[in-house]
Structure 1
Amino acid sequence: MPNNPYIPKAVEIIDITAQSEVDYTYRLAVDLDVDNGQFVEVSIPKIGECPISVSDFGDDYIDLTIRHVGKVTNQIAHLTVGDKLGIRGPYGNGFPMEEYQGKDLVISAGGTGLAPVKSIINYFYRNPKAVNSLTLLLGFKNPANILFSDEIAKWKAADHINVILTVDEGDQAWDGNVGLITGFVDQVDFSNLDNMEVIIVGPPIMMKFTSLEFMKYDIQEKQIWVSFERKMSCGIGKCGHCKMDDTYICLEGPVFNYTKAKELVD
């Protein structure tokens, strides 16, 4: 009898880390062949299913950073270490890591957009000689919404990583940058344009205007990569929920080169 692609596998939660009041990272004991930027479908019986980007992974685990803002994710909030989640996937096309080797790589992430690229950052953190340089341009709504604070501190301490962190709205305790992420693109080193690649992930409006801002500095469209957050229901190109024009995001994406992404319209 052929395998049913819609049937999830029950996997154990082995760790839960709070990132903010509503964002938590769940480490699941599962061995999956994951590419950076792919997603899985997460389910709870009788509740529902939702797509979640893989924020990191190893030989025997994956990390999912989940915001508790919906029917399924609010139910996940009640789970503890030792409980199980339904998982199927991974799905979609990830980031083309071979394109970034030896390059001056810039990763610009807004809010929860940091989750899909965290595994890329950690790869180049562990393998500093794989890139010529790595610049992180990270933006959050406010200090309370900053994700992966411990890892951001680790990246800041690395000699080969330049971290530019900003929040839209500061508070009395915040002494860092304040302002939209687009206002800090000018702090990126553009002295080696031909050797640059740029990854931009975040809300659609952030990706649009951040891409345009980079292009003001003569970054070409083919040098920009984005990832779409969509309601991928089936994950295998059958239901059409994630379709934009004639493109199934779950199959051809969620990662696209900007030359293709600019043509996708809701």
Structure 2
Amino acid sequence: MNNTYIPGNPYTPIENVYLPKGYKLISLNKLTEIEWLFRVEYDQEVTFGQFIEISIPRVGEAPLSVTQFNKEEGWIEFLIRKVGKVTDCLFDLKAGDLMFLRGPYGNGFPAEEEYRGKHLIIVAGGSGLAPVRSMINHFYNDEANDTKVDLLLGFKDYDSIIFKDEIKQWKEKFNTLITVDNSCSIDGVCEGLVTKYIPDLELADDIADMEVVIVGPPVMMKYSALEFLSRGVPKEKIWVSFERKMSCGVGKCGHCKIDETYICLEGPVFRYDEAEKLVD
């Protein structure tokens, strides 16, 4: 019997949107004292800013944003830290073990549709760099090189900076500023919150030619957006991600619902003129 689900065909089984599939864990690499990079075999299409549900049988599942992917080579990467029973169990795995994934879910960043050929400013705080990393690398490797990219990346301290080697590469092409919350004497790293440096960023002469992406803790996103608004950047030119709100991923559990909006279905990426109404 053919169990392949065909949309609109009443004679085929209903697709189980909760059913995960096993994929082989390729490697685990330590980035900081609390964060590791997991690379997993994967054969599905992914877009920038989407997330995947990762599950451990008889334990539970957790939504994680995709930090990098390569469809041709067949893998995706996740930045994972121990923050609960599911992620604790993930750290017991070793290369060659199976990870159970379902997805990808959500609407991501419209890199090609909205950002290409413009002045793109990306502001990321801490692990908020993970969901925009693939998009940054996309423009870094873009041979057309017609998108101006500025990066403002904030971290708690120097030891918590993730993707250090890639940041060094990004600096070769992009105007890149790294900040840490505490004092720091290391060259190229500034002290203070990212909001401190937004007033000094050079904006496009024509606001229509720029886009701003902000990802990080809710408070950081709020006040970063306010700084850009105070400089005359329209709300529809600012993009934020509510990826921390994810749960089931398919609009069934209601965990991510704010008023009448299901973040997992309509987001997690929103323009700020939509996001400012989503107060939870």
Identify if the C-alpha distance between structure 1 residues 195 and 57 changes in structure 2 by more than 3 Å, giving closer, same or farther: same
Question: In structure 2, which of residues 168, 179, 194 is the aligned counterpart of residue 181 of structure 1?
Answer: 194
Inter-partner Cα distance in structure 2 for 1:186 and 1:51: 34
RMSD over equivalenced CA pairs, Å = 1.4
CA contact 2:53–2:64 (8 Å) conserved in 1? yes
Matches of 2:14 and 2:266 in 1, distance apart?
A: 25
How far the C-alpha of 1:174 sits from its partner, in A, is 6.7
Q: Distance in 1 between matches of 2:110 and 2:126?
A: 22
TM-score when normalising by structure 2: 0.91
Match of 1:194 in 2: 208
Say which SS state the counterpart of residue 235 (structure 1) adopts: coil
1:193-221, CA deviations, whole angstroms, 9 ceiling, x for partnerless residues? 33110000000000000000111111110
1:25 counterpart letter in structure 2: L
Contact 2:106 2:268 in 1 (8 A): yes
Shift of the alpha carbon at 1:189? 1.0
Partner of 1:64: 78
The equivalent residue for 1:50 is 62
Counterpart amino acid of 1:164? Answer: L
Q: In 1, are the aligned partners of 2:177 and 2:189 still within 8 Å (CA)?
A: no
Residue in 1 that maps onto 2:133: 118
1:142 is matched with: 157
Spell out the pairing of 1:105-254 with structure 2 (5 A cutoff).
105-127=120-142, 129-158=144-173, 161-171=174-184, 176-192=189-205, 193-254=207-268
State the match for 1:91 in structure 2. 105
1:129 is paired with a residue of what secondary structure? Answer: coil
Structure 2 SS opposite 1:169? coil
Structure 1 distance, partners of 2:135, 2:204, is 23
- Give the letter for the 2:221 counterpart: M
Say yes or no: does 1:32 pair with 2:47: no
AA paired with 2:53? E
Please, which runs of 5 or more residues in structure 1 have no aligned partner? none
Offset of residue 36 of structure 1: 0.5
Correspondence for 1:3: 15
Cα 1:238/1:185, change in 2 over 3 Å? same
Q: Is residue 143–residue 174 contact of structure 1 (8 Å, CA) maintained in 2?
A: no
Give the Cα–Cα distance (whole angstroms) in 2 for the partners of residues 42 and 147 of structure 1.
Answer: 22
Instruction: Provide the aligned length of Structure 1 versus Structure 2.
Output: 264
Q: CA deviation at 1:187?
A: 3.0
* CA shift for structure 1 position 3: 2.7
Contact in 2 for aligned 1:105/1:131 (Cα 8 Å):
no
Pick one of 54, 63, 82 that aligns with 2:96. 82
Could you tell me whether the CA contact under 8 Å between 1:51 and 1:231 is conserved in 2? no
3-state SS of 2:198 partner: helix
CA distance in 2, matches of 1:207, 1:129: 30
What displacement does 1:263 show? 0.3
SS of equivalent residue, structure 1 residue 72: helix
Q: Are the structure 2 counterparts of residues 101 and 173 from structure 1 closer, same or farther at C-alpha, using a change threshold of 3 Å?
A: closer
**One-letter amino acid of the counterpart of residue 243, structure 1:** K
SS of alignment partner, residue 89 of structure 2: helix
Secondary structure of 2:117's counterpart equals coil
CA separation of 1:90/1:214 partners in 2, compared to 1, >3 Å: closer, same or farther? same
Identity of aligned residues (%): 50
SS of residue in 2 equivalent to 1:114 = helix
Query: Which of 252, 260, 266 lines up with 2:274 in the alignment?
Result: 260
The match for 2:5 is none
